[in-house]
A and B are shown apart, each in its own frame.
Chain A
Amino acid sequence: MLYFGEQELAAILLSLKVAIWATFLSLPFAVWVAFLLVRRRFWGREVLNALVHLPLILPPVVTGYLLLMFFGRVGFAGQILNDYFGITIAFQWTGAVLAAAIMAFPLVVRAVRLSIEQISPDLEHAALTLGARPITVFFTIALPMALPGIVVGAILGFAKALGEFGATITFVGNIPNQTQTIPSAIYGFLQMPGKDQGAFTLVFVSIVISVTALLLSEWLARRVQKRMHGQ
């Protein structure tokens, strides 16, 4: 049956921590990028769009490898972070956050984008003609109206971050109690004889967390929808 040993608990806590951090890290950028893609016409828009979708279409291992090349100890950004700030993220839990955030990013952008596309630009123009500055219009009209999509995007991003495996294991490895998330722990347990119980426990926990997140998002989305279009 279920067995919660030290390694299992560590993996669960780390996964939750990584998924929550990754969600909050990618959300503001995703909202910003989604607005850029829907509302602005600029040179390089298609390039940005492609770049955003890259983690979705590349094999996750390739994303992990690129992260390692860029943020690893000898990578371009990794060296700067290490030399000037004393921060290392490869093979650290923070690296797992970065990998999960990047992998979740396109999903969050897509969900937010869908809800922004529903907002009539005329509504924002109406707010402008009333005298509100563009930044005010963003925070008072566009952002609240995009809230249902932002909620959905956040939950999707959280679920993706929780399940992220390929990029994470490539970038930060599979070190028990340090960088071992639920998926990498399940993978690890399956490699070792007699660890089936641990794997089963983590599978069960994954299902519970994911279903809870889904129900929560449905409930939140309904509430937001009601607030937005209620009478």
Chain B
Amino acid sequence: MKVIDPHIHMVSRTTDDYLALAYGGIHTVSEPSFWPGFDRCGVDGFRDYFQQLTVVEPARAARFKIRHFCWIGLNAKEAENTKIGEQVLAILPEYLDSPTALGIGEVGLNKNSKNEIAMFERQVELAAVRNELMLIHTPHLEDKLKGTRIIMDILRNEPRIIPSRVLIDHAEEHTIGEIKDNGFWFGLTLYPDSKGSPARAVDAIEIFGADKLCINSSADWSVSDPTATLKTVNEMRRRGHPDDLIRRIFYDNPADFLGQSPKFSVA
């Protein structure tokens, strides 16, 4: 079974993890820009990071015949500092032009603050002007429902944004229905403690269907598992779901969403 992981933070993972992905049949990944676990002290830190995403990681992945794509954006956590944020917004187009950059992401909200919203609105505007795909980060835990609704209001208020070109990620049981009702793609993230398990992800597939759904590990520097998508494939097989449905969810769906960028191709 070949799998595409549309959201994984390989800059935070070991080379052994690339090997594990290759062994498991994950030969295509996309990596959104995110918060590194600390706030960077200036725009140069973002430059280094975007260089890592657009140049270093694709080469690192290629050693294992894995195709690596990325998303460029100002993450919600660091958007609180608008002074640095403004400088980061100014350099985004330079990196969005990279041959492996699929769009703007992951951007969105973290604690649903005034500054986060202002920086997110600016990036929605940039996506509209450049006709970029968007990959959206929704807040964690108790802030998710409120933040997801604010994000969707902002996106709906920008008529140039086409919902089918936006994936709203880290959806959970209480937000999936509204995301689908608004025509966006939704992502399910497999984190053992703070988001969903393979079993709950498969429950969501059964309840909400397989349309406009992508499942990801979002593996990063914290408690996470780069092979979580493979474990969810196994959960579907254990329950007796057919191989064509499994392939659709873990390969065809992400290929369809990411393939809206002309830069994307599968390995």
Do A and B belong to a common assembly?
no
Give the interface of B toward A (CB within 8 A): none
